[in-house]
Amino acid sequence: MSITNLTPSQLRQAAGLKEKIEELQAELGQLLGSAGQETAAVTVPKGKKKISAAGIAKIRAAQKARWAKFRASKGK
């Protein structure tokens, strides 16, 4: 449902809820000692971290070594 399809009473209710949220965020910021950064606790983390090609190569080499060790111990 888009905002253009809301009734006036629904818009007033939404505005009231938004004000309550902002007040609670400010109160939380004061409790945590970050009055200037009320919204910092609600920020969404950025995208996934990317692994470099060298990091992937190290992971692959380690996995191959683990499998080689496993197969060697199973063969005995």
> pLDDT per residue over 7-56, tens digit each?
888 888 988 999 999 999 988 888 888 655 545 556 667 787 789 999 99
Give how many domains the chain has, as a whole number. 1
Task: Render pLDDT for 43-53 as a digit per residue (tens, 0 to 9).
Answer: 667 787 789 99
SS3 44: coil
Let me know: does 31 contact 24? Beta carbons within 8 Å. Answer: no
Identify which of 26, 3, 23, 28 has the alpha carbon closest to the alpha carbon of residue 13.
3
Confidence at residue 53, expressed as pLDDT on a 0 to 100 scale: 93
Domain of residue 24 covers 3-75
Q: What pTM value is reported for the model?
A: 0.39
Q: Report CA 70 to chain centroid distance, whole Å.
A: 36
Confidence at residue 38, expressed as pLDDT on a 0 to 100 scale: 46
Quickly state the pLDDT bin for 63 (edges 50, 70, 90): very high
In the block, tokens 């920020």 appear at 43
Let me know: does 28 contact 38? Beta carbons within 8 Å. Answer: yes
